[in-house]
Amino acid sequence: MIEFRSVSASYDAETPVLHEVSFTIEDGDFVAFVGTNGAGKSTTMRLMNGLLEPTAGEVLLDGTPTTQLRTSQLAARVGFLFQNPDRQICCNTVRDELLFGFKAQGRADAQAEAKVDAIIERFGFDADAEPFLLNRGTRQLLALASIIVMETPVVVLDEPTTGLDFRECAKVMDVIAEMHAQGTTVVMVCHDMEVVGDYAKRVVAMTAGRVVADGLTFQVLRDPAALHAAHLLPPQVSQISMMLVERNAELADTAIAQANTVEAMLDAMQEQEEAVSHG
């Protein structure tokens, strides 16, 4: 479980970037953080694995403040995919890249090697390829695979699909969905509302360092006030369903108005009939 309790954060003393952000992410959840550029999403992600410490409030991992956990303890619990995969790719071959996390934790043993071999097979990587010569989509998949292979209970993914084409995006998201299905808690920053609508169970929307909406995906993406507050456009399917709801409401209003008119006409006719029969 990840808990933010009134967390504020900044990169320098003068400019606060997060303002009293609070939320809880339960084990097994799939949460998407959405919002405009500079809203504080990446900052929130960095706080989750202790890359950044709060200036006020607390970030708790399974009840323990991140400030009390060692880097190795944090790394064992939270896998982290940077907004730019090239920030985390540092080895000369794909195989070394996938082994890097194990080496950093001092456990590059036969078991680790077997896990790396299995993931190379699963992703169809060329083990000896040079990571920086791979195309953007494959580098992103490699960065993701290097997190998956560590089997952390939580993964924090900062824009895992940005810059990918449709096919690459689907491939990356299928891998993430599979991880989630196997019990991994997924926290993801995403600008693509179609992807958010298709995969995330819950949405946290941020604006100017504050949480402005937090709820089930289908509710937040159909809530005009939440979308407006976070300056977001809903995915097409939500747009269509909102239009249908509005259209139905208009039709219902028209039907009620027509029924009222008919009722008034019937009343008038009845009055006329009564007047004639009495006269």
Ligand X SMILES: Nc1ncnc2c1ncn2[C@@H]1O[C@H](COP(=O)(O)OP(=O)(O)OP(=O)(O)O)[C@@H](O)[C@H]1O
Nearer to ligand X, 42 or 217 (CB): 42
Identify the residue whose tokens are 């190795």: 72
Among ligand X, Mg ion, none, what does residue 146 contact (CB within 5–8 Å per kind)? none
- Closest contact distance (angstroms) between CB of 123 and Mg ion is 25
* Contacting residue, 27, 38, 103, 174, with ligand X by CB under 6 A: 38
Positive or negative, the Cα torsion across 19, 24, 25, 27?
positive
54 makes contact with ligand X (CB under 6 A) = no
The DSSP call for residue 7 is E
Pairing label, strands 202-207, 210-216 = antiparallel
Helix, strand and coil content of the chain, in percent to the nearest 5, comes to 50, 20, 30
Binding mask 16-35 toward ligand X (x if CB under 6 A, else -) reads -x-----------------x
112 makes contact with ligand X (CB under 6 A) = no
* Contacting residue, 6, 11, 64, 111, with ligand X by CB under 6 A: 11
- For 21, the 3-state DSSP assignment is strand
Nearest-CB residue for Mg ion: 42
Which residue, among 3, 5, 18, 37, has the nearest Cα to 230 in the 3D structure?
A: 37
Rounded to whole angstroms, the Cα distance separating 136 from 86 reads 9
Which range in 79-87, 197-205, 261-269, 271-279 contacts Mg ion by CB under 5 A? Answer: 79-87
Q: Which are the contacts of 84, defined by CB distance < 8 A and separation ≥ 6?
A: none
207 makes contact with Mg ion (CB under 5 A) = no
Token digits for 196?
A: 């958010």
9 makes contact with ligand X (CB under 6 A) = no
- Closest contact distance (angstroms) between CB of 79 and Mg ion is 17
Among Mg ion, ligand X, none, what does residue 17 contact (CB within 5–8 Å per kind)? ligand X
- Closest contact distance (angstroms) between CB of 37 and Mg ion is 7
In one letter, which amino acid is 91? C
Nearer to ligand X, 39 or 203 (CB): 39
42 makes contact with Mg ion (CB under 5 A) = yes
* Contact indicator for 152, 77 with CB cutoff of 8 Å: yes
* Contact indicator for 92, 130 with CB cutoff of 8 Å: yes
42 makes contact with ligand X (CB under 6 A) = yes
Which residues are at the interface with ligand X (CB under 6 A)? 11, 17, 35, 37-43, 83
